[in-house]
């Protein structure tokens, strides 16, 4: 029997609620397969700060270091609550970014998927959704503005100033582009490169490196799109995209826009892949506006489990079963409130109901 060690970082807000559903799924996956998960829950984010004085405490670091993969819920506080923690020690700067840096999780996979049958979830007209949306954002995750040099002070004229640098070196650009080209080669052989080379020098270097990398991928055609135009195109015709690659901050913004196009951020799972370790998390935040009500959509969290099964544990078939089980909840006419259509109140279910329905369906699917 194979054992996989997984650190569980439930985090803040809806994190613990959706993590509960992920744990239920992991137990069923154990029952159905010749594997065992050694699950180690650990404090992370604001919850950790209030209990230990640190957002990413030593014990949690040790649990993550020892794990084969990390499954993370959500972190963060509401705008008002976040003022209770010094900015550099908060859940984002004090835990999430240091974790990304520690494990060098440079390739962030953010799948954006909506089949034609669920077009009614989207605020876009059904004819815009066409046969369905199925694209993958590859977001560079450990460079750019997020991790560049930052200085602040008072200038000669007595004004407060801040400098925040958008930094990349060629290695950082090259490795994420390779991930994107590899994926494009396996999929539709089209790569949309999202940049802003009409203004940013960082995009000029990015595109120079892209021209070097693409030599090894002659079968992949590259389409260049400026990031502002990409935002428009995603709304007008999201089906034109398959694999999209971009730097850190562009990916943060466009991936949330994609959540809007699908109808809810609750449909956005993700994988954050590093050279030796990967972690998996919903793309969205802790949703303070709905936390504690048991109504968050756990699809993003369970989808992150599916990505972990496939990408860290080589269980692609069981991951496919899990995606199918999740989709079947929707096609049976159920959804959490974030996706509910007006007048469909009888089909609105809770976070735990969604998890239970996924389990019932998964249990009927043949094991790999
Ligand atoms: P958010 O993503 O938490 O929420 C935006 C909106 O989407 C809210 O209306 C929320 O209710 C809804 N939503 C998000 N996930 C949902 C789900 N699974 N089911 C149903 N509805 C869902 O963004 P925000 O409000 O701007 O940020 C809240 C906090 O989360 C901030 O502190 C922010 O820093 C943090 N954050 C953390 C992560 C992360 O853990 N990776 C990501 C983004 C934001
Ligand atoms: C995300 C989040 C994070 C980011 C924040 C919480 C630091 O918005 O994962 O998309 O900006 O990367
Ligand atoms: Mn984000």
Name the residue with the closest Cα to ligand 2, atom 7.
92
Mutate to test the pocket of ligand 1, among 83, 141, 287, 340 (most ligand atoms within 8 A of CB): 287
Can you tell me the mean pLDDT for 149-153?
98
Q: Distances from the Cα of 317 to the Cαs of 112, 188, 278, in angstroms?
A: 20, 21, 19
pLDDT of residue 343: 55
53 has a pLDDT exceeding 90: yes
Between 346 and 304, where is the model more confident? Answer: 304
Q: Are residues 302 and 355 in the same domain?
A: yes
Cα dihedral 299, 362, 341, 268, rounded to 10, equals 20
Task: Kindly state whether residues 335 and 252 are assigned to the same domain.
Answer: no
Co-location of 134 and 166 in the same domain: yes
Domain boundary among 268, 301, 323: 268
Of 77-81, 116-120, 203-207, 261-265, minimum mean pLDDT range: 116-120
Q: Is residue 230 part of a domain?
A: yes
Nearest alpha-carbon partner for 203 in 183, 181, 233, 228:
228
Same domain, 212 and 317: no
Q: How many domains does the chain have?
A: 2
CA–CA gap between residue 304 and residue 298 (Å, rounded): 10
Strand partners, 140: 107
The answer to whether residue 138 is domain-embedded is yes
70 lies in a domain? yes
What are the two backbone dihedrals, phi and then psi, of residue 53, each rounded to the nearest 5 degrees? Answer: 85, 0
pLDDT at 302 over 70: yes
Q: How far is residue 368's CA from residue 358's CA, in Å, rounded to a whole number?
A: 17
Reading the block at residue 157, the tokens are: 């004229």
Positions marked catalytic = 146, 196, 228, 252, 256
**End-of-domain residue from the set 268, 302, 329:** 268
Same domain, 234 and 146: yes
Residue 341, pLDDT score: 72
Query: What separation in Å is there between the alpha carbon of 31 and the centre of ligand 3?
Result: 34
CATH number at residue 8: 3.40.718.10
Domain boundary among 268, 289, 320: 268
What is the span of the domain harbouring residue 335?
A: 1-105+274-368
Q: Are residues 166 and 303 in the same domain?
A: no
How many angstroms separate the CA atoms of 53 and 70, rounded?
22
Residues 82 and 155 in one domain: no
Q: What's the pTM value of the predicted model, to 2 decimals?
A: 0.98
Task: Give, for 51, the enclosing helix (H) or strand (E).
Answer: helix 46-52
One domain, residues 174 and 32: no
Q: Is the CB of 270 under 6 A from ligand 1?
A: no
Q: Specify the residue with its C-alpha closest to ligand 2, atom 11.
A: 252
Q: Which residues pair with residue 36 across a beta bridge?
A: 3
What are the CA-CA distances from residue 180 to residues 135, 154, 173, 295 (Å)? 12, 42, 11, 35
Q: Which of 92, 97, 112, 145 to mutate to test the pocket of ligand 2 (most atoms within 8 A of CB)?
A: 92
Dump pLDDT digits (tens) for 163-184.
Answer: 999 999 999 999 999 999 999 9
What was the pLDDT predicted at 344?
Answer: 64
Asked whether the beta carbons of 120 and 333 are under 8 A apart, the reply is: no
Q: Output the pLDDT for position 342.
A: 58
Is the residue at 110 inside a domain? no
Tally of residues, the chain? 368
Which ligand has the nearest atom to the CA of 141?
2
95 and 7 part of one domain: yes
Q: Tens digits of per-residue pLDDT, 315-368?
A: 999 999 999 999 999 999 999 999 987 556 669 999 999 999 999 999 999 998
For 185-190, the CB contacts below 8 A with 24+ separation are 185/217, 185/219, 185/220, 187/136, 187/242, 187/243, 188/242, 188/243, 189/219, 189/220, 189/221, 190/220, 190/221, 190/223, 190/242, 190/243
């Amino acid at each position: 029997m194979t054992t996989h060690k997984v650190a569980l970082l439930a985090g803040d807000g809806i994190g613990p609620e959706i993590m509960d559903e992920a744990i239920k799924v992991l137990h069923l996956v154990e029952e159905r397969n010749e594997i065992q998960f050694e699950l180690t829950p650990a404090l992370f984010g604001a919850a950790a700060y209030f209990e230990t004085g640190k957002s990413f405490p030593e014990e949690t670091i040790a649990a993550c270091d020892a794990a084969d993969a990390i499954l993370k819920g959500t972190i963060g506080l509401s705008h008002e609550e976040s003022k209770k923690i010094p900015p550099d020690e908060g859940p984002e700067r004090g835990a999430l970014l240091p974790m990304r840096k520690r494990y060098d999780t440079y390739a962030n996979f953010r799948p954006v998927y909506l089949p034609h049958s669920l077009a009614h979830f989207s605020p876009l007209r059904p004819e815009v959704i066409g046969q369905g949306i199925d694209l993958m954002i590859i977001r560079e995750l450990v460079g750019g503005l997020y991790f560049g040099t930052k200085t602040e002070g008072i200038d000669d004229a007595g004004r407060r100033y801040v400098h925040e640098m958008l930094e990349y070196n060629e290695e950082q650009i090259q490795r994420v582009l390779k991930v994107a080209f590899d994926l494009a080669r396996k999929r539709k052989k089209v790569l949309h490169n999202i940049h802003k080379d009409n203004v940013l020098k960082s995009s000029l270097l990015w595109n120079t490196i892209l021209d070097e990398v693409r030599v090894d991928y002659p079968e992949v055609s590259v389409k260049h799109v400026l990031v502002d135009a990409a935002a428009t195109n995603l709304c007008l015709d999201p089906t034109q995209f398959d694999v999209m690659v971009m730097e850190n901050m562009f990916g943060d913004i466009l991936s949330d826009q994609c959540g809007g196009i699908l109808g809810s951020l609750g449909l956005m799972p993700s994988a954050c892949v590093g050279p030796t370790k990967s972690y998996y998390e919903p793309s969205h935040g802790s949703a303070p506006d709905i936390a504690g009500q048991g109504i968050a959509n756990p699809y993003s969290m369970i989808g992150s489990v599916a990505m972990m099964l496939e990408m860290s544990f080589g269980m692609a078939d069981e991951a496919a079963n899990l995606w199918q089980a999740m989709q079947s909840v929707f096609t049976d006419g159920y959804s959490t409130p974030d996706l509910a259509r007006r007048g469909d109140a009888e089909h609105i279910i809770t976070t735990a109901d969604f998890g239970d329905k996924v389990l019932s369906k998964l249990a009927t699917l043949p094991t790999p």
